[in-house]
Amino acid sequence: MSLNRRNFLKTGAAGAVAAPYGFMRTAQAASTIKVGVLFSLTGGLSIIEKSLHDATLMAISEINAKGGAKGMMIEAVVEDGASDPKTYNEKASKLVIQDRVPTVFGSYTSASRKAVLPVFEKRHNLYFYPTYYEGFECSKNVVYTGAVPNQQLSNFIPWIIKTLGKKKFFIVGSNYIYPREMAKVSKILIEKNGGEWIADEYLELGHSEWGSMVNKIKTSGCDVVLSNVVGDSVVAFYREFKNQGLTHDKLPICATVTSEIEIAAMGAEYAVGSFTSFPYFQAIDTDINKAFIERYRAFVKDPKAVTHHALESSYFQVFLWKQAVEKASAITPDAIRDAVKGQEFAAPNGHVKIEPENLHTYLTPRIAQWLPDGQGKIIDAYPQPIKPLPYVAYGETDSNPFCTAKGLDTAKLKI
């Protein structure tokens, strides 16, 4: 229980220490760098975005504790996206135009990223986006540090077909761009690996009545379910799945979104035996990850807090940015962007590197099976990070990139 006198006193003490420190920072305005931190602190998405916000602030405070970036303290200008793309756009404009920050860290959903993109492109500013997303974007003003489809699916689908021996896929997702693009990539990979997909079905985002869909899955004759379901629908889905008598050992759910957060929310017993593909799991057994989890829990004052992929990316991207600032000739968005190309960092998930051409991140694909304690057991991992390919659904390969430093090669893109 965190509601006790000791914690209360500790917090009070921390507040007392922090107050003069904040005053000092404004007094020494010449030696600070302001950055924007833009996540939803209110509204439906705050459930997840609050954790990304916390991870970003934790990275900033760790960097400041070690002397800052290029000897300058980083000052976070925090804004609230309020789970609303329009608010995101307004707050991004405010950060770029009024606060004149050279970089903003933010966004969880693709909708909010798309909403702020025009601001950063028009004003030649820089956005760091930490979430796994559907690809199909090649902006020179965004650094993408989450997974793209080839880092979640190009290992997952062949593994399902060859190792699990499952060939008939039922693809299910929430009805918006991310699950639909993921389904598109999945179908290409399923057909290439000799499997077949029986159905491709969607449910409204945030909808939790899964009775009919699970019944359809049951009668479809599929032997594996590929889930791109997002948000709290995930919880209702796994519960209904078990409650209709389906089991993961006969008909496993293989998911691209279900992370530690959703597992904790549904109750681990509903997910035991199912699979998820992500570059990061809380269960990664390295000292650097264990220390990261411990620091995060101390930072948010919740001894049971879970870490997940987008949270970890929110953390390490600040360090990549710091290295870029130190290398850059000036503290301008353009200089930082050029300097971040090829930056490498030892992140909790392993070695990460920004691909110089498309500004996405090299990540290591991993597959985990969920255990009764709500943690993943990593059962398959690539030996090293793989190159991010945001246009893999449209035929992009390692040797034939669509998105380069010059921009998107539209001649190659056939939709």
Partner 1 sequence: MLDVLFIGFSVGSILLLVALGLAITYGAMGVINMAHGEMVMVGAYTTVLSRIWLGGNIFVAIPLAFIVTALLGLLIERVVVRRLYGRLLDTLLATWGIAILIQQAVRLEFGLSFFGIHVEGLGPGLQNVAVPAFLQGAFQFAGQEINIYRTFIIVVTLLVTLVTWAILYRTSVGMQVRAIIRNRPMAAACGIDTERVNALTFAFGSGLAGIAGVMMSGFKTVFPDMGSSMVVDGFMVVVAGGVGSLLGSIYSAGMLGEINGVAAWATNDIVARAIVFGVVILIIVLKPQGLFSYKGR
Closest approach of Cβ 40 to partner 1, in Å? Answer: 10
Nearest approach, Cβ of residue 307 and partner 1 (Å): 14
Strands 366-370 and 376-381: antiparallel
Which CB atom, from 265 or from 293, has the smaller least distance to partner 1? 265
Q: Is 17 in the site for partner 1 (CB under 8 A)?
A: no
Strand partners, 325: none
Asked if 1 interacts with partner 1 (CB under 8 A), we say: yes
* Burial of residue 125, with CB atoms counted within 10 A of its CB: 0-12 exposed, 13-18 middle, 19 or more buried: buried
From residue 231 to residue 270, what is the string marking binding to partner 1 with x (rule CB under 8 A)? -x--xx--xx-xxxx---------------xx-xxxx-x-
Q: Are 309 and 146 in contact (CB under 8 A)?
A: yes
Assess 165 for contact with partner 1 (CB under 8 A): no
Shortest Cβ distance from residue 176 to partner 1 (Å)? 11
Check binding of 52 to partner 1 (CB under 8 A): no
Residue 39 beta carbon to partner 1: minimum distance, rounded to whole angstroms = 12
| Under rule CB under 8 A, residue 220 binds partner 1 | no
Q: Roughly how many angstroms between the first and final C-alpha of the chain, as a whole number?
A: 54
Name which position in 180, 207, 327, 341 contacts partner 1 (CB under 8 A): 207
Adjacent-strand bridge partners of 132? none
SS3 392: helix
Q: Is 382 exposed, middle or buried (0-12, 13-18, 19+ CB in 10 A)?
A: middle
Q: H-type helices in 170-286, by residue range?
A: 177-192, 211-219, 233-243, 260-266
Nearer to partner 1, 160 or 205 (CB): 205
Degrees to nearest 5, angle at CA 314 with 389 and 106:
90
Cα(80)–Cα(230) distance, rounded to whole angstroms? 22
Q: Which of residues 106-145 bind partner 1 (CB under 8 A)?
A: none
Shorter beta-carbon distance to partner 1: residue 99 or 232: 232
The residues binding partner 1 (CB under 8 A) are 1-3, 7-8, 11-12, 14-15, 42-44, 46-47, 50, 175, 201-204, 206-209, 211-213, 215-216, 232, 235-236, 239-240, 242-245, 261-262, 264-267, 269, 301-302
